[in-house]
Amino acid sequence: MRTPRAGEGSGTPTRTPWCAQKGLSAVPPAPGPDIDVSFEFFPPKTPEMEQTLWSSIERLAVLQPRFVSVTYGAGGSTRERTHATVRRVLEETSLVPAAHLTCVAATCAEVDAVARGYWDAGIRHIVALRGDPPGDDNTYRPHPRGYPYAAELVSGLKRIAPFELSVAAYPEVHPDAPSPQADLDNLKRKIDAGAVRAITQFFFDNDLYFRFIDRVRAAGIDVPVVPGILPVTSVKGLLRFAASCGAGVPRWVTELFDGLDQDPQTRRLVAATVAAEQCTRLREQGVREFHFYTLNRAELTYAVCHMLGLRPVEPQPPADAPEWRARA
Ligand SMILES: Cc1cc2nc3c(=O)[nH]c(=O)nc-3n(C[C@H](O)[C@H](O)[C@H](O)COP(=O)(O)OP(=O)(O)OC[C@H]3O[C@@H](n4cnc5c(N)ncnc54)[C@H](O)[C@@H]3O)c2cc1C
């Protein structure tokens, strides 16, 4: 059972404020520290992008995420860069890194070698995914000697080492799934194979998420199913991406960005408001964990986390650090 939503069953008829009609919340909950967040980044291609990534990681690190994850490019195209980024997070920050890993275009032996490399380097958390075919080919064909789907990848990784494994979930059903039930059965297979957390594809309609959670729990899946939050930066990009991954974009979202193509500053303010309202509503209804698709930009995610009540915590040096003792 999900937590009842605010106002449900109270028996007191109230006038719906305009913001609620628009899907926005009138009353923010009191800020609180009971929120867990994780942040997703992609590996940078150029030195400029690298700089943006690391300043974003630095800015968001003080919010003490549970983990930060680094994506794996389509068809394994970012293998080296993903590895380098995850290792740098491990070696140069106090953050817990999670490496995304996919089945696409690789044999089991190749995927296993990457996973062993992660384990040997000290990386303990993998986000295990099927992945999408590279290029314009939308038809997924398992590699003849590869892991065919994410569930088999989860089993394979568990055989290599006791990784913490997260997997993907789809409140609006994965586009390749023959039915919503088949997709749910697939999620259960991934959890039964050893995954301890699911992270959802992004969505904007919270009711969809809660209906999905009801079905997930009814199917006997009891791991956290963490909502994936995408602060919108470009509506054009969003629509393109949403079409390819089967996520719906309600008309009220696109309407809010109408006329802002040439106005990035207002666009950012609107984007932060939309994502903060979505998270606030999820929180009001009992959600305590959020995964942010940061797109390597800290600003929006930081603002949304702030509105959720998170505050920066500067890293403390260990008690036996020499400079620390000198100051004491
Ligand atoms: C949080 C998150 C992070 C992501 N990170 C990345 C990333 O870093 N790199 C990347 O390339 N992509 C990433 N993706 C996208 C993901 O790879 C795609 O959505 C991909 O199409 C499906 O991956 P999956 O792990 O959900 O696949 P699966 O769980 O394997 O399922 C894919 C589809 O196949 C169906 N299916 C499963 N098993 C079978 C079977 N035996 N026979 C027939 N059909 C079956 C399922 O029902 C589903 O429709 C991410 C997605 C999410 C939500």
In our burial notation (b when 16+ CB lie closer than 10 A, e otherwise), range 300-313 reads bbbbbbebbbbeee
pLDDT of residue 94: 95
Instruction: Please indicate whether residue 75, judged by its CB atom, sits closer than 6 Å to ligand 1.
Output: no
H helices of 37-147, in order, are 47-61, 79-92, 108-121
CA distance 182 to 132: 19
pLDDT of the residue at 19: 38
Partnered with residue 167 across adjacent β-strands are 198
Q: Which of 68, 174, 216 to mutate to test the pocket of ligand 1 (most atoms within 8 A of CB)?
A: 174
Residue with tokens 């700089």: 51
For residue 130 and ligand 1, the question of a CB distance below 6 A is answered with yes
140 CA closest ligand 1 atom index? 21
Closest ligand 1 atom to 74 CA:
11
9-14 contact pairs (CB < 8 A, 24+): none
- Tell me if the pTM is above 0.75: yes
- Is residue 228 lining ligand 1, measured as CB closer than 6 Å? yes
What pLDDT sits at residue 315?
65
Is the CB of residue 149 below 6 angstroms from any atom belonging to ligand 1? Answer: yes
Q: What string of pLDDT tens digits covers the 328 residues of the chain?
A: 333 333 333 333 333 433 344 444 444 445 556 899 999 999 999 999 999 999 999 999 999 999 999 999 877 678 889 999 999 999 999 999 999 999 999 999 999 999 999 999 999 999 999 998 877 777 899 999 999 999 999 999 999 999 999 999 999 999 999 999 999 999 999 999 999 999 999 999 999 999 999 999 999 999 999 999 999 988 999 999 999 898 999 999 999 999 999 999 999 999 999 999 999 999 999 999 999 999 999 999 999 999 999 999 976 555 555 554 433 3
CATH architecture of 29-314: Alpha-Beta Barrel (3.20)
Nearest CA owner, ligand 1 atom 26: 168
CA of 50 to the centre of ligand 1 (A): 27
CB of residue 102 inside a 6 A radius of ligand 1: yes
- The secondary structure of 267-305 as a DSSP string is HHHHHHHHHHHHHHHHHHTT--EEEEE-TT--HHHHHHH
Atom in ligand 1 nearest the alpha carbon of residue 199: 1
pLDDT at position 324 is 40
* Extended beta strands in 139-187, E state: 164-169
Residue 133: the pLDDT is 84
| From 40, 152, 172, 277, active-site residue | 40
277 is catalytic: no
Domain ranges in the chain are 29-314
Which atom in ligand 1 lies closest to the alpha carbon of residue 169? 53
Give 105 Cα–ligand 1 centroid separation in angstroms: 14
Residue 74: CB within 6 Å of ligand 1? yes
- The amino acid occupying position 251 is R
Q: How far is the CA of 143 from the centre of ligand 1 (A)?
A: 14
- Would the CB of 177 count as within 6 Å of ligand 1? yes
